[in-house]
Amino acid sequence: MSDAGILGHVSASQVKTYRACKRQWWYEKVARLPKAMGGGKDTGTALHHEMRAYLAGEIPASRLSPLAAPGVPELPLPGTTLAEHALEPPPVAAGLPWTGSIDWLSPPQASGEWAGIPWVGDHKTTKNYTYCLDKEELAKDVQMISYAYYASIKWSLPESGFVRLTHVYYHTDPGPRTKPIKVVDTKAQVATIKSLWGEFETVVQDMKATAKAPTAAQVEGNAKACWNYGGCPYRSRCPSNKSAAPAPETPEVISVHRLLFPRKAAK
């Protein structure tokens, strides 16, 4: 087996999870245990489908839902951008392909404030704007920087160049005093993007080593991350959870052990 263990690819969400808690990442990506999906995911998925169709010119703005419609003035014109654009060919991080799909990717603008600068954007649903990234956080976000890195390669940008980064947040339950959307817009220099990409590659290298761990107990956990984003789905089986009985070995975990540590044939 290669030094990548059983990993076939990496992604921004994997790196984010790994940075928060290596053990949660191991459960999800190495042991391949199922992860429950909340209702908020369904809302976000529906919004993304709508916006892909709108940006591709398949439906007019008049057909967008009340949730999606307020975002239209903040988006590229339909037909002028790549909607839900897959990272193809994928950039490579520490020998592994980095997969993902950009909500919109516009080529360098011909004129105006953003002349010569490509545009990477992402739709986000939220119930509370408190949790939105600010401009500084957006300019270092793993997902957006990985997309910006891809854009810098696609258009052969010099290190002095920039990539525009935008999050459009759609409030799923706005009150009478709450704006339906919030926009965070900034740019990152290519030299900085490449430097951050180098940091991601270091994380991926560590992920490859961690993927070889035969059990969760041998992977570092982070108790502070147990309740992130509504709580870790693997809390009940985590060795750090003293109140939970040890979880039995599942078929998924057993198969991982056999892949990583095959028994020697009897002589």
- Rounded to an integer, what distance in angstroms lies between the CA atom of residue 12 and that of residue 9? 11
Query: Once rounded to an integer, what is the mean pLDDT over residues 116-132?
Result: 96
Helix (H, G, I), strand (E, B) or coil at 146: helix
For the chain, the domain total comes to: 2
What does the mean pLDDT of the chain come to?
A: 88
Instruction: Cite the DSSP H helix spans in the chain.
Output: 12-20, 22-25, 39-55, 135-138, 142-154, 190-210, 251-260
Instruction: Check: CB of residue 121 under 8 Å from CB of residue 48.
Output: no
Measure Cα distances from 122 to 28, 89, 143, 165, 194 in Å.
24, 20, 9, 8, 20
Q: Where are any strands of DSSP class E within the chain?
A: 10-11, 82-86, 92-93, 96-99, 101-106, 119-126, 162-171, 181-189
Which residues are within 8 A (CB) of 21 and not within 5 positions of it... i.e. 6 or more apart? 221, 222, 225, 226, 228, 232
For residue 101, the cross-strand partners are: 86
Backbone angles phi, psi at 136, to 5 degrees: -65, -40
Q: Which of 18, 35, 14 is nearest to 231 (CA)?
A: 35
Residue ending a domain, among 187, 206, 225, is 206
pLDDT digits (tens, 9 = 90+) for 231-266: 899 988 898 775 433 444 444 444 444 444 444 333
Residue 42, pLDDT score: 86
Residue 169 gets which letter from DSSP? E
Q: What is the pTM of this model?
A: 0.86
Are 65 and 189 part of one and the same domain? yes
Note whether 169 and 218 are same-domain residues.
no
First-to-last C-alpha distance (Å) of the chain: 22
- Kindly state whether residues 166 and 225 are assigned to the same domain: no
- Rounded CA gap, 228 and 236, in Å? 15
User: Do 7 and 207 touch, CB atoms closer than 8 A?
Assistant: yes
- Between 12-20 and 142-154, two packed helices, what is the crossing angle to 10 degrees? 150
Judged on CB neighbours under 10 Å (0-12, 13-18, 19+), 202 is exposed
Rounded percentage of the chain residues whose pLDDT exceeds 70 = 86
Domain range enclosing 74: 39-206
28 with 117, same domain? no
Positive or negative, the CA dihedral 47, 196, 229, 218 is positive
Residue 30 and residue 115 in one domain: no
- 267 part of a folded domain: no
Same domain? For 167 and 238 the reply is no
* Amino acid 37: pLDDT: 58
**Together in a domain, 15 and 71:** no
Percentage of the chain beyond pLDDT 90 is 76
Read off the pLDDT band of 6 (50, 70, 90).
Answer: confident
